[in-house]
Amino acid sequence: MRKTLLLTSLASLAACSSLTPIDDPVYLRINDIEARLIRIERVLENESLIQLAADISSLRTEVQAMRGEIETLGFEVERQGTQQGDLYDDLDRRLSQIEDAQSRIGSAVVGQASAGGGGAGGTDQQAYDAAFALIGQADFQAAQAAFQNFLANYPASGLRANAQYWLAESHYGQLSFQTALAEFQRVIEGYPESAKVPDAMLKVGYSQFQMRNYSAARQTLVRVIREFPGTPVATSAEQKLREIPD
């Protein structure tokens, strides 16, 4: 019943939007994450504790990547003022439940400690959450300092790629586009396997656009479309390309 209501909501939102679902990157991203969440929920519901123990590492990696995508999605929903806020909240709640279940399984089966890299005064997840909360408050200067501290204090954290991305976003939010571009490049070059790479590459193009380096922006956005076809970032790149002066 819940999934039927969610799909109905998606359809009604598509009808209200000025963009069709195939053109709306926020809708596309919500739809993609919804499908992946359903798959993980089925894994958690159907597999035994022993099998989950064996799969916990790969599941944690995928959920962590999805957490980063949902953070980006929430930022876009708030910035654009779209009507998909309720759907975002549902995805975020369900992902939090999955993370809680994974934490309980990991503690019960392997007694695994937090995956931090040695920072003082809390875990890497706590430090990351505190820094990300500043992004949500649009306090980009404080977020910049918090993510810089995170990267310095947690050299082995699995959240470093996401932290690097949001450090770049904190500069972008302060309109420091040259610095933001360099920080987004660090995501691409330093964490090539991260789920943040497509978003980082898109924001490189956005930064170049804001700096009026239209030739470089066009090349970057075309690269996004070529390397990530059929994805929400490709749709966003196509929209930004249409804004570049001839």
Residue 43 is predicted with a pLDDT of 58
Q: Please check the confidence at residue 213 and state whether its pLDDT lies above 70.
A: yes
Residue 237 is predicted with a pLDDT of 92
128: Cβ contacts below 8 Å, ≥ 6 apart = 150, 157, 159, 162, 163
- Stretch 142-171: mean pLDDT: 93
pLDDT band at 106 (very low <50, low <70, confident <90, very high): very low
pLDDT band at 37 (very low <50, low <70, confident <90, very high): low
Phi first, then psi: what are they for 137, rounded to 5°? -90, 0
pTM of the full predicted structure? Answer: 0.60
User: Cα torsion for 60, 123, 163, 56, to the nearest 10°?
Assistant: -10
Q: Please check the confidence at residue 116 and state whether its pLDDT lies above 60.
A: no
- Stretch 60-89: mean pLDDT: 62
**Summary mean pLDDT of the chain:** 73
Lowest-confidence range among 30-44, 162-176, 188-202, 226-240?
A: 30-44
* pLDDT tens readout for residues 8-20: 444 444 444 444 4
- Stretch 136-153: mean pLDDT: 92
Residue 7 is predicted with a pLDDT of 40
Lowest-confidence range among 97-101, 180-184, 187-191?
A: 97-101
| Domain map (residue ranges) of the chain | 1-112
- Stretch 3-10: mean pLDDT: 42
Pick the more confident residue, 188 or 234: 188
Pick the more confident residue, 195 or 33: 195
Pick the more confident residue, 70 or 82: 70
- Stretch 26-53: mean pLDDT: 58
Residue 111 is predicted with a pLDDT of 40
Residue 243 is predicted with a pLDDT of 93
Pick the more confident residue, 158 or 40: 158
Most confident of 6-20, 71-85, 110-124, 204-218: 204-218
Phi first, then psi: what are they for 156, rounded to 5°? -110, 10
Question: Token match 């990267």: residue?
Answer: 151
